[in-house]
Amino acid sequence: MNLQDSPCNDLLYLCFNQDNACFAGGTNTGFFAYNCEPFTETTRKNFSSGGIGIIEMCYRTNILALVGGGKVPRYPRNKVMMWDDVNNRCIGELSFPSDVRAVKLRRDMVVVVLDRDIYIYNFQDLKLLENRRTIVNTKGLCALCPHTNHRVMAFPGKERGLINVELFDIQRQVIIPAHESELMALALNYDGTMVASASERGTLIRVFSTASGNMLHELRRGAERAIIHSICINPSSTYLACSSDKGTIHVFSLMDEDRNDVKDSLQRNSNPLASSSSETDTQRLERTELSSSRSGNVTNKPISSGVSVSTGQGSFLSEGQQQSLSSTFGVFFKSVLPKYFASRWSIAQFRVPETRMICAFGSQKNSLIIIGADGSFYKVLFDPQKSTECEKVKYFKFLSAEEADVH
C-alpha cells in the first residue's frame, strides 16, 4: 500500500510478505519489519537522511527490495536497490527511465512495475528475462504467485478493465475482460489458480480462473462506490477478504456450497423489493408494487403493468412517455436487480477507523491480520457459520509516538 500520495505521518509504504507471516513499512527516515504472530519487531533501519517509498520482503530472508521516497529519498525513485539486512548494505541495483511504481519478489524472480512497463529479472544475477507492456498503471498493480512450483503473474492489460495473466511454466498468456472501468486492485491465490480484482467503482470483486479466464465468483462489497485498498485470498482458497476507504473489512466465502443464506435473508428482509425465498428475483420484482408520492399524487402499479411517473406538480407525463419509461424501468428492474441480489455478500465484517488499511489471512484458522496507515495492527477472528462482526483478539501500535504524529 503506497501512502506517498497522501501521507498522514512518517509512514510511506506498507506491505505483507509472500506468506503473510510478516509485514514491512517504509518511512521518511528508513524502514522496519515485524513478525505478525507473535507480534514482534524483527528489524528497523534509520538512515541519517532519506526515506524509503517502497519496500518488498522476500519471504523471511534477509533480502529486501528498496526504492527511495518521501521528502528526501534515500535512493533515486527510478532505482531498485537490493538490500542485505544482515550485512547492512546494497548488493545490487536496477535502474529505469522512469519512477518505479512497485516491486514484487519470488525466490527466482524480481518484478519491477513502471507506469506502462513491467520488467522481469532473474533473482540470482538480476539478468533481464522478459518485459510486458500495460495500460497506464500509476498504482503499480501487479500480483505474483508465491507458490514454489507455479510461476504466475497478473497485471493490467493494454486496455481499461483487462487483466493479463502470465502462466510462465506453460508459456501462455490469458487475457480476462474483468471490468468495464479501470482496475483498482489485484490479487492471486497461493497456487496461482485464481485471480481476484476490483475496479475503481469498488462495489464488486470478481474472481476468475487463471487457466481459462472464466469468472468463478462475483462478490458484492456494497452498493456505494468505494476505493478498494487490498484483496487477499486464504491459502486454501476458501475465503477472500478486502479492505476499502469505507472503514469496513469484508470476508467472503468462495465455497460453492455456501450460498450465503444468512446474508440473503437479511437483504430480503431489509429491502421492499424482496419477498418469499421460494420466488426467483424476477418473480419477486414482477409481483412487487412501486409506490411514489409527490404533492399529494400517489401512483401504485405493478411493474409488469407499467410505471407511472409523477412530475411533482400534480400532472403526469403523456401516455407515450409513460410507456417509454415503463419499458426502460422494466428492463432495469428485471435484468439489473436480480444480478444485484445474486452476487455473494460478505459473511463477516470488521469496522476499523477510516484510515487506509490492508489485510491478510493469519496462520490461525479463520483469522485476519489488518494493518493501517495510522500504525494500527489488528488480529481478528471470524465465524463462517454466522453473518456477524469479527472478534478483535489482538491490537498493537507499530509506529512510535513521534512517527505517528500528524504532519
Q: What is the pLDDT of residues 313-359, one digit of tens each?
A: 333 445 555 455 445 544 444 444 445 546 789 999 999 987 899 99
Report yes or no: 18 and 373 within 8 Å, Cβ to Cβ.
no
Higher-confidence position of 265 and 109: 109
Q: Cα torsion for 104, 159, 250, 372, to the nearest 10°?
A: 40
Q: What is the pLDDT of residues 369-400, one digit of tens each?
A: 999 999 999 999 999 988 789 999 999 999 87
**AA identity, residue 95:** S
DSSP 97-115: SS---EEEE-SSEEEEE-S
| Strand order across the beta sheet in which 40-46 lies | 11-16, 22-27, 30-35, 40-46
Quick one: average pLDDT of 180-198?
A: 97
| Position 22 pLDDT exceeds 80 | yes
Q: What is the pLDDT of residues 220-244, one digit of tens each?
A: 998 899 999 999 999 999 999 999 9
Quick one: average pLDDT of 87-93?
A: 95
**175-179, 247-251, 256-260: which range is least confident on average?**
256-260
DSSP 233-296: E-TTSSEEEEEETTSEEEEEE--TT---HHHHHHHHHH-TT---TTS-HHHHHHHPEEEEEETT
Residue 280: exposure state from Cβ atoms within 10 A (0-12, 13-18, ≥19)? exposed
Cell 548488493 belongs to: 91
pLDDT of residue 292: 33
Residue 255: exposure state from Cβ atoms within 10 A (0-12, 13-18, ≥19)? middle
User: How are the residues of the chain apportioned to helix, strand and coil, as percentages rounded to the nearest 5?
Assistant: 15, 45, 45
Q: What is the pLDDT of residues 276-292, one digit of tens each?
A: 333 433 333 333 333 33
**38-52, 187-201, 310-324: which range is least confident on average?**
310-324
| Position 138 pLDDT exceeds 90 | yes
Domain boundaries, the chain: 265-342
Quick one: average pLDDT of 150-178?
A: 97
pLDDT of residue 101: 98
Q: What residues form DSSP beta bridges with 72?
A: none
Residue 111 CA: distances (Å) to CA of 24, 58, 225, 330, 396: 18, 12, 31, 49, 32
pLDDT of residue 342: 60
Instruction: Label residues 316-355 b or e (16+ Cβ within 10 Å = b).
Output: eeeeeebeeebeeebeebeeebeeebebbbbbbbbebeee
